[in-house]
Amino acid sequence: MNELVIYERKGGLYADSQNVAEWVGKRHDNLVRDIGRYCDDLAHLKIEDSTDNPALPSNLDAANFFVPGTYKDASGRKNRMYWLTRKGCEFVANKLTGRKGTLFTAAYITRYHQMEELLSARLECPAHTDAIQAVYLDPAVHYYTNEFNMINRLVLGVDAKHFREAHGIEGKSSIRPYLTDAEITLVNRLQSIDVGLVWAGLDYEARKKKLTEYRNRKAELALKAA
């Protein structure tokens, strides 16, 4: 089974129905048929039932779940497919039972979480993203998150996820507003050094060693100056 892939497109995160079909154990044309029926049902709910049932959510537009698209098969013929938002994946997962449903649910939750972390990290240090994309061929998500988690652990003792949990920060908000000036300065400096190390071709462990040495030297100098 191929890895479940979440794509960034037009400012959103989406799964490909071909990939999803493999994970849920359906033929792709059957999944496309089912999603088409879900879209029709949502359209009828939105048009017919919203007036009669004011308790229905106002965001039942099918585009919040499924976005139609096409792909070319080996013969060059265009075929229907759908892009699934996170809500769309939840929709499909709720229709499943048994082991495949459990596996798909775990996979899409994990992958969406990873991509959300990546998008948040990109905003914090775009130079990191540029360096990784230039040096590595088709880098996986963990290439990015490993770097940001490493630097956060060196400065804060924990990664961004656990820092948010410890400080009651909801969602994927940037943790920078909650850092001290000294912590922000050290994070910025380590990011700048790490970008150079990535460009220089050092592997993860070598970069971690260099950054740890720099962090320790800064701590020693701060103690002497105190």
pLDDT tens, position by position, for the chain (226 residues)? 678 888 878 778 899 999 999 999 899 999 999 999 999 988 877 655 555 555 556 667 889 999 999 999 889 999 999 999 999 999 999 888 788 888 898 988 888 877 777 776 666 677 888 888 888 876 776 777 788 889 999 999 999 889 989 999 887 777 888 999 999 999 999 999 999 999 999 999 999 999 999 999 988 988 888 7
CB 191 within 8 A of CB 185: no
Q: What is the pLDDT of residue 145?
A: 79
User: Token match 């792709």: residue?
Assistant: 28
Tokens describing residue 220 = 């020693």
Q: What is the pLDDT of residue 61?
A: 84
Residue positions counted in the chain: 226
DSSP state of 63: G
d(CA 188, CA 193): 9
CB 153 within 8 A of CB 117: no
Q: What is the pLDDT of residue 67?
A: 95
Q: What is the pLDDT of residue 7?
A: 84
Q: What is the pLDDT of residue 15?
A: 92
Q: Is the dihedral of CA 46, 50, 53, 58 positive or negative?
A: positive
